[in-house]
Amino acid sequence: MNHEKTQPQDMLVQDPREPNAFNWDLIGHELRRVAAVLSAMPDWCPVTTLAQETEAYRMLMFGLDDEQRMVHHMLIQAGVLDA
């Protein structure tokens, strides 16, 4: 795994006399983080995981009574839950 240190050129200094006058580029850090997570899970398949999550959601919603369905629809309409 590659643990590169942040180099000074990664920080763009605009004007050192102004408060908060620097900009930190987090894209490189995020790419390294995602790579580390994915390398720690070599057998992870996103397609299978999504299919399993969809099936689990379907099973969860299968046995709702009328009142629970009404609350579920209200939460969807309010934007709290995805349809």
d(CA 60, CA 54) in angstroms, rounded, equals: 10
Domain boundaries, the chain: 8-40, 46-77
The DSSP code sequence of 23-83 is EE--HHHHHHHHHHHHHH-TT--HHHHHHHHHHHHHHHHHT--HHHHHHHHHHHHTTSS--
Q: Using alpha carbons, select from 22, 46, 67 the residue that is nearest to residue 9.
A: 22
Per-residue pLDDT reduced to its tens digit, 49-65? 999 999 998 888 888 89
Structure tokens at 76: 């969807």
Q: pTM of this prediction?
A: 0.41
User: What is the residue type of 80?
Assistant: V
Segment 5-21 shows an average pLDDT of 59
Q: What is the pLDDT of residue 6?
A: 53
